[in-house]
Structure 1
Amino acid sequence: MTEVSSSLQAFECLRAQINPYAEELWLIALNSQMEVIKKDMVFRGTADHCLIHPRDIFRILILCNASSFIMAHNHPSDQVLPSEQDLVLTRKIHQLATLFQIPLNDHIIMTTSQYYSMADQGYFKKWKKSSDKYLY
Protein backbone atom coordinates (compact mmCIF):
# COMPACT_ATOMS: atom_id res chain seq x y z
CA MET A 1 0.00 0.00 0.00
CA THR A 2 1.06 3.57 -0.64
CA GLU A 3 1.77 5.76 2.38
CA VAL A 4 0.54 9.36 2.27
CA SER A 5 1.79 11.31 5.26
CA SER A 6 2.68 14.67 3.67
CA SER A 7 1.11 17.21 1.36
CA LEU A 8 3.70 16.44 -1.34
CA GLN A 9 2.85 12.72 -1.19
CA ALA A 10 -0.87 13.56 -1.48
CA PHE A 11 -0.20 15.78 -4.50
CA GLU A 12 1.92 13.07 -6.14
CA CYS A 13 -0.78 10.46 -5.40
CA LEU A 14 -3.42 12.52 -7.27
CA ARG A 15 -1.33 14.42 -9.82
CA ALA A 16 -2.15 12.09 -12.74
CA GLN A 17 -5.89 12.47 -12.13
CA ILE A 18 -6.00 16.27 -12.33
CA ASN A 19 -8.74 17.43 -14.69
CA PRO A 20 -7.67 20.67 -16.44
CA TYR A 21 -11.25 21.51 -17.51
CA ALA A 22 -13.53 20.99 -14.50
CA GLU A 23 -13.21 21.19 -10.73
CA GLU A 24 -13.24 17.84 -8.96
CA LEU A 25 -13.12 16.91 -5.31
CA TRP A 26 -11.04 13.84 -4.42
CA LEU A 27 -10.72 11.90 -1.18
CA ILE A 28 -7.76 9.85 -0.04
CA ALA A 29 -8.98 7.56 2.73
CA LEU A 30 -6.17 6.34 5.00
CA ASN A 31 -5.76 3.50 7.47
CA SER A 32 -4.08 3.94 10.85
CA GLN A 33 -0.62 3.55 9.24
CA MET A 34 -1.37 6.44 6.82
CA GLU A 35 -1.67 4.00 3.90
CA VAL A 36 -4.19 4.61 1.13
CA ILE A 37 -7.23 2.36 1.41
CA LYS A 38 -9.36 4.27 -1.09
CA LYS A 39 -8.79 7.09 -3.56
CA ASP A 40 -12.00 8.41 -5.06
CA MET A 41 -13.28 11.35 -7.09
CA VAL A 42 -16.43 12.26 -5.16
CA PHE A 43 -17.73 15.34 -6.99
CA ARG A 44 -17.23 16.88 -10.43
CA GLY A 45 -18.31 20.42 -11.25
CA THR A 46 -17.68 23.04 -13.90
CA ALA A 47 -14.65 25.15 -14.81
CA ASP A 48 -14.98 27.25 -11.66
CA HIS A 49 -17.44 25.60 -9.28
CA CYS A 50 -18.18 22.23 -7.70
CA LEU A 51 -21.21 21.45 -5.52
CA ILE A 52 -20.19 19.39 -2.51
CA HIS A 53 -22.21 17.76 0.27
CA PRO A 54 -20.52 16.55 3.48
CA ARG A 55 -22.92 13.58 3.75
CA ASP A 56 -21.35 11.95 0.69
CA ILE A 57 -17.81 12.51 1.93
CA PHE A 58 -18.43 10.88 5.30
CA ARG A 59 -20.51 8.03 3.84
CA ILE A 60 -17.48 6.98 1.77
CA LEU A 61 -15.07 7.33 4.69
CA ILE A 62 -17.26 5.31 7.06
CA LEU A 63 -17.94 2.56 4.53
CA CYS A 64 -14.22 2.03 3.89
CA ASN A 65 -13.42 2.23 7.62
CA ALA A 66 -10.99 5.15 7.20
CA SER A 67 -8.88 6.22 10.18
CA SER A 68 -8.19 9.65 8.64
CA PHE A 69 -8.38 11.32 5.24
CA ILE A 70 -7.09 13.96 2.89
CA MET A 71 -9.38 16.05 0.75
CA ALA A 72 -8.12 17.55 -2.52
CA HIS A 73 -9.59 19.54 -5.34
CA ASN A 74 -8.24 21.17 -8.44
CA HIS A 75 -8.49 24.71 -9.80
CA PRO A 76 -8.63 24.69 -13.62
CA SER A 77 -7.76 28.42 -13.44
CA ASP A 78 -4.19 27.41 -12.45
CA GLN A 79 -4.45 29.49 -9.26
CA VAL A 80 -3.70 27.43 -6.14
CA LEU A 81 -4.71 29.94 -3.47
CA PRO A 82 -7.94 28.99 -1.68
CA SER A 83 -11.08 30.99 -2.32
CA GLU A 84 -13.32 32.11 0.53
CA GLN A 85 -15.70 29.25 -0.37
CA ASP A 86 -12.78 26.78 -0.16
CA LEU A 87 -11.96 27.99 3.36
CA VAL A 88 -15.60 27.85 4.53
CA LEU A 89 -16.08 24.33 3.16
CA THR A 90 -12.80 23.09 4.63
CA ARG A 91 -13.59 24.46 8.07
CA LYS A 92 -17.03 22.80 7.98
CA ILE A 93 -15.53 19.44 6.93
CA HIS A 94 -12.79 19.83 9.57
CA GLN A 95 -15.44 20.36 12.28
CA LEU A 96 -17.49 17.38 11.10
CA ALA A 97 -14.37 15.21 10.91
CA THR A 98 -13.71 16.05 14.56
CA LEU A 99 -17.25 14.98 15.48
CA PHE A 100 -16.99 11.74 13.49
CA GLN A 101 -13.48 11.15 14.88
CA ILE A 102 -12.09 10.65 11.38
CA PRO A 103 -9.42 13.37 11.23
CA LEU A 104 -9.05 15.52 8.13
CA ASN A 105 -5.26 15.59 7.70
CA ASP A 106 -5.17 18.13 4.88
CA HIS A 107 -7.06 19.84 2.09
CA ILE A 108 -4.89 20.23 -0.99
CA ILE A 109 -5.70 22.61 -3.85
CA MET A 110 -3.98 21.45 -7.03
CA THR A 111 -3.15 22.55 -10.53
CA THR A 112 -1.27 20.51 -13.09
CA SER A 113 2.08 21.82 -11.80
CA GLN A 114 1.68 22.99 -8.19
CA TYR A 115 -0.37 22.63 -5.01
CA TYR A 116 -1.40 24.49 -1.86
CA SER A 117 -1.74 22.66 1.45
CA MET A 118 -4.09 24.15 4.04
CA ALA A 119 -2.47 22.05 6.77
CA ASP A 120 1.02 23.26 5.82
CA GLN A 121 -0.27 26.84 5.95
CA GLY A 122 -1.52 26.41 9.55
CA TYR A 123 -5.28 26.53 9.01
CA PHE A 124 -5.96 23.23 10.78
CA LYS A 125 -4.03 24.21 13.93
CA LYS A 126 -5.98 27.47 14.14
CA TRP A 127 -9.32 25.70 13.62
CA LYS A 128 -8.47 22.96 16.13
CA LYS A 129 -7.75 25.55 18.82
CA SER A 130 -10.99 27.41 18.16
CA SER A 131 -13.11 24.22 18.17
CA ASP A 132 -11.50 22.62 21.27
CA LYS A 133 -13.69 24.71 23.55
CA TYR A 134 -16.80 23.17 21.95
CA LEU A 135 -15.78 19.52 22.43
CA TYR A 136 -17.07 17.76 25.52
Structure 2
Amino acid sequence: MQTFLDFKELLQTSDDIVANELSLCYKRSVELMGPQYKKLNNSRTVSNLLRQIWEKDQIEIRESFYLLCFSTGLDLLGFQKISEGGLDAVLVDFRILFSIALLSRASSIVVAHNHPSGTCHPSEMDRTLTKRIVEAGGLLDIRLNDHIILTETSYYSFRDEGLL
Protein backbone atom coordinates (compact mmCIF):
# COMPACT_ATOMS: atom_id res chain seq x y z
CA MET A 1 0.00 0.00 0.00
CA GLN A 2 1.30 3.43 -0.88
CA THR A 3 0.33 6.67 0.70
CA PHE A 4 0.72 9.88 -1.23
CA LEU A 5 1.02 13.14 0.63
CA ASP A 6 0.39 16.51 -0.90
CA PHE A 7 3.13 18.49 0.81
CA LYS A 8 2.08 21.73 -0.87
CA GLU A 9 -1.31 21.43 0.79
CA LEU A 10 0.20 20.47 4.16
CA LEU A 11 2.66 23.35 4.10
CA GLN A 12 0.17 25.77 2.52
CA THR A 13 2.61 26.86 -0.16
CA SER A 14 2.69 26.77 -3.93
CA ASP A 15 6.48 26.50 -4.06
CA ASP A 16 8.04 23.33 -5.41
CA ILE A 17 9.39 21.03 -2.73
CA VAL A 18 12.74 19.43 -3.42
CA ALA A 19 14.07 16.46 -1.47
CA ASN A 20 17.65 15.27 -1.74
CA GLU A 21 18.07 11.60 -2.59
CA LEU A 22 21.10 9.39 -2.31
CA SER A 23 21.11 6.35 -4.53
CA LEU A 24 23.72 3.62 -4.14
CA CYS A 25 24.13 0.58 -6.30
CA TYR A 26 26.50 -2.32 -6.68
CA LYS A 27 27.38 -3.77 -10.07
CA ARG A 28 29.77 -6.70 -10.29
CA SER A 29 32.64 -5.95 -12.64
CA VAL A 30 33.38 -8.46 -15.38
CA GLU A 31 37.07 -7.76 -14.73
CA LEU A 32 36.79 -9.34 -11.27
CA MET A 33 35.47 -12.64 -12.57
CA GLY A 34 38.85 -13.95 -13.72
CA PRO A 35 40.53 -16.89 -11.98
CA GLN A 36 43.12 -14.63 -10.31
CA TYR A 37 40.29 -13.14 -8.20
CA LYS A 38 38.95 -16.48 -6.96
CA LYS A 39 39.80 -18.22 -3.69
CA LEU A 40 42.13 -15.52 -2.35
CA ASN A 41 42.72 -17.45 0.85
CA ASN A 42 46.20 -16.51 2.05
CA SER A 43 48.20 -13.39 2.76
CA ARG A 44 50.67 -13.95 -0.08
CA THR A 45 48.01 -14.00 -2.81
CA VAL A 46 46.19 -11.05 -1.24
CA SER A 47 49.40 -9.00 -0.93
CA ASN A 48 50.19 -9.78 -4.60
CA LEU A 49 46.72 -8.53 -5.56
CA LEU A 50 47.21 -5.39 -3.46
CA ARG A 51 50.44 -4.65 -5.31
CA GLN A 52 48.52 -4.82 -8.59
CA ILE A 53 45.88 -2.29 -7.51
CA TRP A 54 48.07 0.02 -5.38
CA GLU A 55 49.35 3.27 -6.83
CA LYS A 56 52.95 2.10 -7.21
CA ASP A 57 54.48 5.56 -7.25
CA GLN A 58 52.82 6.36 -3.89
CA ILE A 59 53.78 3.32 -1.79
CA GLU A 60 56.95 5.01 -0.48
CA ILE A 61 55.49 8.52 -0.42
CA ARG A 62 52.25 8.56 1.56
CA GLU A 63 50.03 6.19 3.48
CA SER A 64 46.87 4.92 1.82
CA PHE A 65 44.16 2.61 3.14
CA TYR A 66 42.38 0.04 0.97
CA LEU A 67 39.41 -2.26 1.45
CA LEU A 68 38.94 -5.62 -0.28
CA CYS A 69 35.48 -7.21 -0.12
CA PHE A 70 35.01 -10.98 -0.33
CA SER A 71 32.19 -13.46 -0.84
CA THR A 72 31.68 -16.44 1.44
CA GLY A 73 33.88 -18.47 -0.93
CA LEU A 74 36.69 -15.87 -0.72
CA ASP A 75 36.13 -14.60 -4.25
CA LEU A 76 36.91 -10.91 -4.62
CA LEU A 77 33.73 -8.85 -4.92
CA GLY A 78 35.45 -5.49 -5.16
CA PHE A 79 38.06 -3.14 -3.78
CA GLN A 80 38.24 0.53 -2.95
CA LYS A 81 40.79 3.02 -1.72
CA ILE A 82 39.19 4.30 1.48
CA SER A 83 41.56 7.15 2.24
CA GLU A 84 44.91 8.73 1.57
CA GLY A 85 47.02 10.25 4.30
CA GLY A 86 50.38 11.78 4.90
CA LEU A 87 53.87 10.42 5.44
CA ASP A 88 53.08 8.39 8.53
CA ALA A 89 49.33 8.35 9.15
CA VAL A 90 46.01 7.79 7.41
CA LEU A 91 42.50 8.31 8.78
CA VAL A 92 39.86 5.63 8.31
CA ASP A 93 36.16 6.49 8.36
CA PHE A 94 34.32 3.36 9.47
CA ARG A 95 31.08 4.60 7.93
CA ILE A 96 32.65 4.66 4.49
CA LEU A 97 34.48 1.38 4.98
CA PHE A 98 31.44 -0.59 6.13
CA SER A 99 28.98 1.08 3.75
CA ILE A 100 31.10 -0.23 0.87
CA ALA A 101 31.33 -3.69 2.44
CA LEU A 102 27.56 -3.79 2.98
CA LEU A 103 26.79 -2.48 -0.48
CA SER A 104 28.96 -5.17 -2.09
CA ARG A 105 27.28 -7.83 0.08
CA ALA A 106 30.64 -8.87 1.51
CA SER A 107 30.73 -11.62 4.10
CA SER A 108 34.35 -10.79 4.90
CA ILE A 109 36.90 -8.08 4.23
CA VAL A 110 40.63 -7.48 4.15
CA VAL A 111 42.00 -4.05 4.93
CA ALA A 112 45.45 -2.86 4.00
CA HIS A 113 47.64 0.15 4.35
CA ASN A 114 51.25 0.91 3.54
CA HIS A 115 54.18 2.14 5.59
CA PRO A 116 56.27 4.52 3.49
CA SER A 117 59.02 4.23 6.11
CA GLY A 118 59.69 0.68 4.93
CA THR A 119 59.05 -0.97 8.30
CA CYS A 120 56.43 -3.70 8.26
CA HIS A 121 55.74 -3.89 11.98
CA PRO A 122 52.38 -2.50 13.12
CA SER A 123 52.20 0.52 15.36
CA GLU A 124 49.98 0.61 18.42
CA MET A 125 47.55 2.71 16.37
CA ASP A 126 47.49 -0.04 13.71
CA ARG A 127 46.66 -2.63 16.38
CA THR A 128 43.92 -0.46 17.87
CA LEU A 129 42.41 0.22 14.44
CA THR A 130 42.38 -3.50 13.65
CA LYS A 131 40.66 -4.30 16.93
CA ARG A 132 37.99 -1.64 16.27
CA ILE A 133 37.36 -2.96 12.74
CA VAL A 134 36.91 -6.48 14.13
CA GLU A 135 34.41 -5.17 16.72
CA ALA A 136 32.44 -3.09 14.22
CA GLY A 137 32.42 -5.92 11.71
CA GLY A 138 31.11 -8.26 14.39
CA LEU A 139 28.03 -6.08 14.79
CA LEU A 140 27.38 -6.31 11.04
CA ASP A 141 28.37 -9.97 10.65
CA ILE A 142 31.30 -9.02 8.41
CA ARG A 143 34.52 -10.81 9.31
CA LEU A 144 37.92 -9.16 9.08
CA ASN A 145 40.06 -11.82 7.38
CA ASP A 146 43.30 -9.88 7.55
CA HIS A 147 44.94 -6.50 7.92
CA ILE A 148 47.98 -6.25 5.70
CA ILE A 149 50.72 -3.66 5.93
CA LEU A 150 52.64 -3.20 2.68
CA THR A 151 56.07 -1.80 2.10
CA GLU A 152 57.95 -1.50 -1.18
CA THR A 153 59.54 -4.93 -0.76
CA SER A 154 57.49 -6.93 1.76
CA TYR A 155 54.30 -7.16 3.80
CA TYR A 156 53.01 -7.91 7.30
CA SER A 157 49.88 -9.98 7.89
CA PHE A 158 47.96 -9.62 11.15
CA ARG A 159 46.43 -13.06 10.47
CA ASP A 160 49.79 -14.77 9.87
CA GLU A 161 51.22 -13.23 13.04
CA GLY A 162 48.32 -14.49 15.16
CA LEU A 163 46.84 -11.04 15.84
CA LEU A 164 43.47 -11.97 14.28
Relative to the length of structure 2, the TM-score reads 0.73
Q: Which runs of 4+ in 1 moved over 3 A?
A: none
In 2, Cα distance between equivalents of 1:64 and 1:74: 24
Percent identical pairs in the alignment equals: 35
Structure 1 residue aligned with 2:163: 123
Relative to the length of structure 1, the TM-score reads 0.88
Residues 15, 112 of structure 1: 8 Å contact kept: no
User: How far apart are residue 33 of structure 1 and its match?
Assistant: 1.2
Unaligned runs of at least 5 residues, structure 1: 125-136
In 1, Cα distance between equivalents of 2:78 and 2:46: 13
Name the SS for the 1:60 alignment partner: helix
Q: Which has the larger radius of gyration?
A: 2
Q: Pairwise CA RMSD of aligned residues?
A: 1.0
How many residues are aligned here?
124
In 1, Cα distance between equivalents of 2:81 and 2:45: 17
Unaligned runs of at least 5 residues, structure 2: 1-32
Q: Give 2:125's aligned amino acid.
A: Q
Higher relative contact order (CA 8 A, sep 6+): 1
Residues 62-109 of structure 1 show CA distances to partners (whole Å, capped at 9, x for unaligned) of 011111110010000000000000000000001111111010000000
2:101 aligned with 1:64? no
Match of 1:12 among 17, 40, 48: 48
